[in-house]
Structure 1
Amino acid sequence: MENLEDKTKKQLLKEIDQLKVKITELEKSNSEVKRTEEALRESEEKYKAMYEETPLSYQSLDINGNFLDVNPKWLNTLGYSSKEVIGKWFGDFLHPDYVEHFRKNFPEFKKRGYVNDVQFYIRKKNGEHIYISFEGCIGYTPAGEFKQTYCVFKDITKEHEFEKQLKESEAKFKTLVTNSEEIVYVIAKDGTFLLSEGKGLAKLGVEPGQVVGASVFDLYKEYPEMLDEMRRTFNGETITSEAKIGDIYFRNWYTPQKNEEGEIIGLLGLSVNTTEQKLAEEEIKKSNSLLSSIIDSPGNLIMFALDTDYKYLSFNKAHAKEMKAIYGADIEVGKLIFSFMPNEKDISKAKINYKRVLKGERFSEIQEYGDAHSRFWYELIFNPIIDTSLNITGFTVFVTNITDRKKSEIEIQRFSRIFEDSLNEIFLFDAETLNFTQVNSAAQKNLGYTMEELQKMTPLDIKPEFKIESFAELVEPLRKGEQDKIVFETVHQRKDQSLYDVEVHLQLLHFENQSLFTAIILDITTRKQSEEELKVKSEFLESLIQQSPLPTFVIDDKGILLVVNEAFMKLYAVPDKDLILGLNALSDPTNIKHGVD
């Protein structure tokens, strides 16, 4: 019994000693916890002082996403008071479209432990919304449990709007160039195509974007003049020119492309298919030369005829007057034309054209004559004279003095070089209001308006020939989708009230939430003047033929009758000229009689 009691006491003393050790360990552990808690408290106080003064908006959320704390910058940014925020759910302050975004991302945030550039659309107290971007992390307890979030955000509304506008602008530009009937391209300074778009590429057998990455110097090595113009553009010139690729005529505009430092890095190009206009102009010139080859022209139209030895067969008073003014010569029929021309350069130039026409070629060109002190420019039309045996016995030359026009063109070219020529005018305007939304620099410069002024205007403000009703009627086929493009001619009125002839290529483009008209403008003043001159001359010469009391007719180089007058019809007793037009009068003159019978 005594031994049992001694043993129990010993065990009790041992257990008491063990208990003392555990108590000591617990006291030591509690001391460490207190020190940790004190360090955390001091850290939080320092952190709180720091975020109170930070220039960024700070917020802290609990495990459910409710506000624990925000700093003054947060309150100032959104306009709330602390009482209106603390304890509220963060999602209640978001735009409805972003609430689900928060529900999905907050658990991921807690799981991952941090966030970077997470964006929300948050409501300010005044009802406005701003875009914000968050950076932050999770705070944990000493036991490693979730405690709260620590996040800051910055206002990115301006950046977001800029990015949105940039995307819209890129979309509009892409829609514009891909739907354009013309060809739009960008070429790097080493000749590499960076962009090639437009429906006009189909005429060349090329798909949009097909040549991107290829070299223009390889693809168009057979067109050295065009490549030379591009090289000049790489050196800073703005070029407007014409080119023929295969059977297609183009009018080209090249302008340098520069980077932010002003260095030329390539060129921007626009090519318009002018084949129809070219063919029409050539047909008018050919018709005019056929009629004028047998008629002496009065007025300021100069005419002379030479035989195969370059001696005068005839000339009108205007030509005699012009030769007197240029060379001081009194010309005579039967005399060699070169005997009146002391300038060897002028003689050499004339012989080149005379030899061409004596080979049977009909053509027209612009030439320059005179010396350094007195220069004259002429537009010449050359036609061979063919006898009844189809032999060429000489040729006629019809000349128009265009010195004043050329001097004006030279002055215009000088002006263009000084103020730097650019691509043709391009306008974008709203399909509903008709207000201009975008106008390129070439149009601004030509019209004399600033972009701010033009954005308050419509096409009716620069097109005096149109009223709202007539313009609405014009664009109706585009609105209904009956036509993809409308091409028409009119005049534009600049800010200074001056007018100029234009050809307008108009299309209706549809974007995501907006429809815009796009108008590409070609200045056709010179072409209109030329067409009008050719038309007047043609009608005048046709009138002279019909009014002539002598039987008069016109045949082509194969002897086919093209034109006859009333006197001719009476001579052959022809009741209707359609009975003989198209007959060969040279191979068998009886054809005329047979045609009547």
Structure 2
Amino acid sequence: EAIAAQIGSIISRIKTEETLRENEKKYYSLFKFHKEILEQSPVGIVRLDENMHIVYENPEMKRLMGVPPNDEQSKALGKDIRKLPSIRKTGLVQELDNLLKGKKIQGEKPFTSMYGKKLYLSFIISPIMQGGRFLGANLLVTDITEHKRAEEALQKTEIRYRTLFDAANDAIFIMSKEKFIECNPKTLEMFGCKKKEDIVGHAPYEFSPPKQPDGKNSREAALEKIDAALAGIPQRFYWKHIKKDGSPFDTEVSLNRFEAGNQVFLQAIVRDISERKRTEEALRKSEEQYRGIFESATDAFLIFNLNGEIVEANPAACKMYGYSYKELIKLSGKDIVHSDYSHTFEDFIKQVTSGNKFHAESIDIRKDGSTFNVEIQGTLFNYQGKPHLLSVVRDISERKHLQEQLRQAQKMEAVGALAGGVAHDFNNILTGIQGYTDLALMQIPKDDPLYQDLNEIRRAAARASNLTRQLLLFSRRQPIEIAPIDLNGVIQDLTKMLTRLIGENISLCTDLESDIWTVEGDTANIEQVIMNLVVNARDAMPEGGQISIKTRNVTVDKKYCRTHSYARPGKFVSLSVQDTGIGMKEDIIDRIFEPFFSTKRAGQGTGLGLSVVYGIIKKHEGWIEVESSPGSGSTFKIYLPAVSWKPEKEKTKYVTSKRLKGHGERILVVEDDESVREFTTRGLSQNGYVVTTAKNAQEAIKVFQKNKANFNLVVSDVVLPDETGPRLAKRLRKLKPDIGILFTSGYSGEKSNWQTIQQNGYPYLQKPYLLTNLLKVINEVLKNKCNPELVRKGLKLKSS
């Protein structure tokens, strides 16, 4: 039995061992399976023993911890997890102690491994307990670093979006098809609401007028846009909204679809463009206004690109340059600028492109090749979104012409002033020459050889005197007798003499206005004008031809005056003298009225004929126009102001030239020029007059006061060293009212005091004068001293 029991025991042990071996095989197979799972797990796994020592780390955990691939085990293996620096930094030490009590731990923590690797880990630590005893723990670790970064980025994005959402200057809605779900603060301000509830929960079309500006129903149009946006088609459009108080305003709306929480929403961004609309409307009106100015301007507006090519032009530019619009915008600026002024256009491009203002004068060319003066102003400006050059061109041909007329008039005025001054000085000299020559001739028999020599001196002095007279006529300083004139009558009276003057190879024809208006002036001067013009015409036709004299009544208007600076509106009589001669070039026309200018050969004229005409007509407040071109003859047209009064039919009285002796009459001669004073004294004394002299006004007064009753006449120079002649005469007439007065003067213009002399009826004798003329005038004054008008009418005689 013992053996049987032993055998049974052996058999039982054998069976047990076999069972154990079978179990070991099963458990080894299971362990091997579990180990493979642990080794291949994508989750980090750590096994802790009952002492909290790390006894196992799977490969994923080693990877997470940054264990180098060549290391078979990590530095943490076998160490108390609670004492690891990386664990202590996480603050998990106290929680790990709770494992010993059987408490499960889980959470998320940032973690830096012993190898310096920084991670964000999600972990679960499960204790292994048996009968209340802690046997160890399993630690499962997942790397959520990327997830956390994504969360943080999302959080930052949400914060940034919310900041932008709340701070946006545009209204932003979150909406479904039916209603507004959310809105930002700007929305409340834009729509005039105080709280979100005024907008959130309301339908989108509630903040729109019944109809949009295009006439569409607002509700239908809004739903159409919303449906398109929900279908994934972004919408952008203009919309008329209304505020809570019903006031309308213009907006620009964009609708975009987005998804959140498996739901589809729309984001609407609304921008208030009311101010922009007002600006656009103002800009539109401004553009219309400036386009109107551009189109209607009388100046040419040309727009150039930076290469100097014309890209736009107004109607005035087309008219100014003679091109059609299509032709003009195909040209470059160089095509319309005269070659001599190409540098001006180049300077225009350079200056304006640099941002500078430009102003200059130039000469441009029309399509037909004709040139004209222009004034250019240029500036840089934006046109169609790009920098362009704007040129404003003004035709200044008319202004240039007027400036030239003014320059010519000023030149003639200056030359006239010079001529008048020369004539005055020369007159005193000639008075002495002529006077003493006359005195000498009176004392020498005619058969004496010296008589002829003196006579030649006399004739030369007469020619010089005539020259000074013409200079005075040119300078408009020669005193004239104003009276009404029948211009036709003057021409008819001169016709016979003019016919003899021009010769047989030239014909003279007249075309006179039947009912010609009256002009006023000095008949002798007007006769001089006609004769000088006819002589000038004759000299222009050496081979013969025709001279035409024409008169017309003319009414000058303001339009004519705008292009003729010397003219003025009113009624005028025109006198034109036209020839069929050789004509003149423009540069000759510019100078023909200058004293001593002549195109004739030396000895064939003084060069004063047309200068005298110019001076006389200016003195008569008229003007002259000249038309001429080489080979086409010349026309001189004179304009004289018309008057309403008619000339009297009166025969001119001429004094005979015989010598008139005095009969002991006493004459006071007041003259500051010694030679003239001596000549006058001797001439009058030798012809029966008793002469007393004075060098100035004060001396004259003293002499006159001593013996005023015996003086019959005072012959005085107009300009005296201490007083004018007319003032002296006034003082003398207070002493003796019936005293005869005769003035002489070599001065012209204002110094001659002609108006004062004429108004008071004083007789006047222009220097230089012949002794015979002086005697004639004295005889006339003494004879009619009590009737100044008779004296004036009786003195129709020349000064030499």
**Given the two structures, how large is their TM-score scaled by the length of structure 2?**
0.31
TM-score, normalised with respect to structure 1: 0.40
Which one has the largest radius of gyration?
2
